[in-house]
Structure 1
Amino acid sequence: MPVKGQIVHSPAGDEIVLDEVGQTVLLDNPVIRVWDVALEPGETHPWHLHHNPYVVLSISGSEARMDWLDGSEPRFLNEYRGGSVYRPLSPVHRLTNIGQRFYQNRLVELKDLGENRPEPADIGPGDRSIEGQPPAPALPDGRVPVILHPHVGVWTVASDEPVKLDLADRPHVIAELARDGAVSFHPGGPLTLTGEYFVVDLAF
């Protein structure tokens, strides 16, 4: 559901032209839409609005500031490589890289919880990973949990040798943990990976 070009108004009455939720679409099908978001230090992703709950997969972390068009207090973030966030719909906001490092993520929009429904699903506060504190032990196949939410499970896999995964029989998003990494949609079941990846289980 593209939003670029939509006009909203600030509390002061100024017209704000919205941008998309990401910069480049990497994958789009009836279930998900995956964007690349990349910001150099000091760069800002303009005002935008989410119509779908979404998962952020952090490729390269930095300190960041989220400002809200309604004037609410800003939110300060410090995302890290291999971390993840599951977020509900939120008011119009923009994101600025206020750190000294390159910032990049893969933003996965969940259409079946948003634009594919008459009304978006209420997912509550969502979830957020904590660096160094996985929510559960690693699985025997090497998957390390990042987020375990009833709607989505996010895992990382890292191996120089092929790793055989037996994924649940439902859709997954597979995103390489690299600046120009590939993103794919997997129907579930067996999968072999070599390298560093996010594995996102669409459990909903």
Structure 2
Amino acid sequence: MLSELCPEVYSCWPAEKQQEIISNWENRQVGSRIVSETDTLRIWHLELQPGERAPFHRHEETYFWTVLGDGKSRSHYHDGTVRNADYKAGDTRHFELRDGDFFVHDLENIGETPLTFVTVEFKA
């Protein structure tokens, strides 16, 4: 599946990361745990200690996250992009995903402080 998308992009990823994205292509667990859920939304918490990594997971619904403290991360995306990010407590980012839109990525804490996110998904 992955090699059909863009074989030259993933050739530089370690074999275990290539296999993980394939294995987790449909993984919808976007946080460590669900803290609340209704018919219309789902609220997740995600905490990563320095050096800890959340596995690849798939976003298919409109959502936003807010980070609770300063930190740094690195994500690998299904299109081959690798992005580093710096966060300040309270930073919030919104993603509007329409029918058929999605992305798959991982999240690694590359900073020296815990990274804690609250993510709210709006169910279709």
Is the TM value for this pair above 0.5? Answer: yes
Higher strand share: 1
Match of 1:82 in 2: 90
State the distance in 2 between where 1:80 and 1:110 align.
24
1:24 is displaced (CA, Å) by 0.4
1:99 is displaced (CA, Å) by 0.7
Match of 1:35 in 2: 44
Amino acid at match of 1:75: R
Q: 1:37/1:98 Cα in 2 relative to 1: closer, same or farther (>3 Å)?
A: same
Q: Is residue 2:58 matched to residue 1:58? A: no
State the distance in 1 between where 2:48 and 2:112 align.
11
State the distance in 2 between where 1:19 and 1:30 align.
17
Q: Which runs of 5+ in 1 are unaligned?
A: 1-8, 116-204
State the distance in 2 between where 1:32 and 1:84 align.
17
State the distance in 1 between where 2:51 and 2:67 align.
18
Could you tell me which of 102, 119, 141 is aligned with 2:114? 102
Highest Rg: 1 or 2? 1
TM-score (norm 1): 0.47
TM-score (norm 2): 0.74
State the distance in 2 between where 1:88 and 1:95 align.
19
1:69 is displaced (CA, Å) by 2.8
1:68 is displaced (CA, Å) by 1.0
Q: Which runs of 5+ in 2 are unaligned?
A: 8-17
Q: How many residues align?
A: 103
Higher relative contact order (CA 8 A, sep 6+): 2
* Coordinate RMSD, CA, aligned: 1.8
**Is contact 1:10-1:70 (8 Å) kept?**
no
State the distance in 2 between where 1:51 and 1:19 align.
8
Could you tell me which of 2, 23, 27 is aligned with 1:10? 2
State the distance in 2 between where 1:36 and 1:98 align.
19
Match of 2:10 in 1: none
Q: 1:91/1:38 Cα in 2 relative to 1: closer, same or farther (>3 Å)?
A: same
